[in-house]
Amino acid sequence: MVHAPAELNINVLLFQSPVSLINGRVVRSAFEPIDGNQREQSFQLEVRSQIVGSSTLLRCVSPVGDIDLNDQGNLDDLYDLQRKTGMSKICARYHPKRKKHLITVEGDRLFDLKTTQWQEIEDLIVRTVEVADRIEFSVLGCDEDAQYLNVVREDKNN
């Protein structure tokens, strides 16, 4: 009996950075006025490819923070925000040491070096970080997501 080889996924971090938001919208130009209501939202771009097959997936991950999902109110808030943000991909990874879930917002798109336009990548980043920032502001009421990028990266490597 011959078995087909199992697919092997490889994740490669392409880029990691914060972006600035004013009134929940990404600041797209260095010339936009800053009025003190500025927030920052971290994100990272990864390429996830498969050795077998031709698919390459570009993934944008933006951390929200630690949220206790054993609290029914927090869980209800996340469901409501997911619905209001167009059924965004909200992910939760449980951390036993902190006894909370690290919440991230993730967005994916197929990536082809020959056909993917830079505007499509920019739109992926903008959609992902705006939703993450909205959830962070609504549920946590703070702007501390940058500290979670290392936790997200560690989780991906385990």
Neighbours of 54 (CB within 10 A): 7
Q: What is the CATH number of the domain that holds 99?
A: 3.30.1460
pTM comes to: 0.76
- Tens digit of pLDDT at every position of the chain (158 positions): 343 344 445 566 666 777 777 777 777 655 555 566 677 888 899 887 754 455 688 899 999 988 888 889 989 999 999 999 887 899 998 888 878 888 999 999 888 877 888 899 999 999 999 999 999 888 888 776 656 656 555 655 55
- Does residue 70 belong to any structural domain of this protein? yes
Question: Of 137, 140, 136, whose CA–CA distance to 63 is shortest?
Answer: 136
- Does residue 28 belong to any structural domain of this protein? no
| Residue 154, token pair as written in the block | 């560690």
Cα separation of 120 and 137, whole Å?
26
pLDDT given for residue 86 in this prediction: 85
- Does residue 33 belong to any structural domain of this protein? no
Residue 136's domain comprises 9-19+40-157
- Does residue 123 belong to any structural domain of this protein? yes
- Amino acid at site 102: L
Tally of structural domains, the chain: 1
